Amino acid sequence: MNTDLARRYVVFALGIFSISLGIGIITKASLGTSPITSIPYSLSMIFPLSLGEFTILFSFLLVTLQAIMLWKRLDRTEKINLLLEYVVSIFFGYLVDLSMWMFDWLNPEEYWLEIVCVLVGIVVLAFGVYLQVVANVVMVPGDGFAYALTIRSRKSYGKVRVASDTSMVVIAAVIGLIGLGTLGGVREGTVMCCLITGLLAKQYMKHFSKLTGFLVPGKDLESLAEGSSKDAS
């Protein structure tokens, strides 16, 4: 592995860690969680597995669906990157559980504090998305699944991503209603994540050009700024 690629994987790992921290903070606010985490979160409220464990299982499902949709169209390198998403799924799932443990003390009781926690979590989450885009190595399963749907449907990534996230939120709400009699992992914090995360990640890309150049020298900042607006976990 050359130095540049190793550097990118380090940045990617930091991005995944930041995303998990953001999810931990948002989830501990008790106002829902991010769209991609909403199904695992609803399931974790019903069954005796942790959020991270359900995140791994759900991510495996998303990667498998990608393989079903795209495997014959992929070249050797793309197939390797797709298989690496299984590794990323495990890494990310355990980081989610680590983040939930790190913020076990965080239990805001007043509504305004819950809102503040969600906003802080979104700031951290969006920074992780920014780092992930900067690294530009392996996709996380949620992004990869939306990308696979884009190729199969031949529609724009933005529209497909919105439809994918919306579908996950609806499924999470249905799971919650059936298993708990509530919306489960879907609340106003979920909506805030949908509306703010991608926009904030794009602002990081726009204003953190020096940091981007330091992390990955020679990156095309303009194309990255366009890409970051597409990604929101």
Q: How far apart are CA 43 and CA 16, in angstroms?
A: 22
Nearest to 200 by CA among 142, 118, 99, 124: 124
**Angle 158-223-87 (CA atoms, 0-180°, nearest 5)?**
70
pLDDT value at residue 194: 85
pLDDT value at residue 140: 86
Would residue 136 be called left, alpha or beta, if left means φ above 0 and alpha means ψ between -120 and 50 degrees?
A: left
pLDDT value at residue 51: 95
- Write 212-218 long-range contacts (CB < 8 A, 24+): 212/134, 215/7, 215/11, 215/131, 215/134, 215/135, 216/4, 216/7, 216/8, 216/11, 216/134, 216/135, 216/136
pLDDT value at residue 114: 95
- Residue 65 is inside which H or E element, if any? helix 51-70
Q: How far apart are CA 42 and CA 73, in angstroms?
A: 34
DSSP H helix total and E strand total for the chain? 10, 0
Two structure tokens written together for 106: 């965080």
pLDDT value at residue 220: 53
Helical packing angle, 35-44 and 157-179, nearest 10°? 20
pLDDT value at residue 232: 43
Report pLDDT digits (tens) over 145-172: 888 888 888 887 777 888 888 899 999 9
pLDDT along the chain (233 residues), means of 10: 82 93 94 91 94 96 92 85 92 95 92 95 92 85 86 80 87 92 88 87 84 73 47 45
pLDDT value at residue 78: 83
pLDDT value at residue 231: 45
Residue 77 to residues 121, 133, 139, 151: CA-CA distances in angstroms?
A: 34, 19, 13, 17
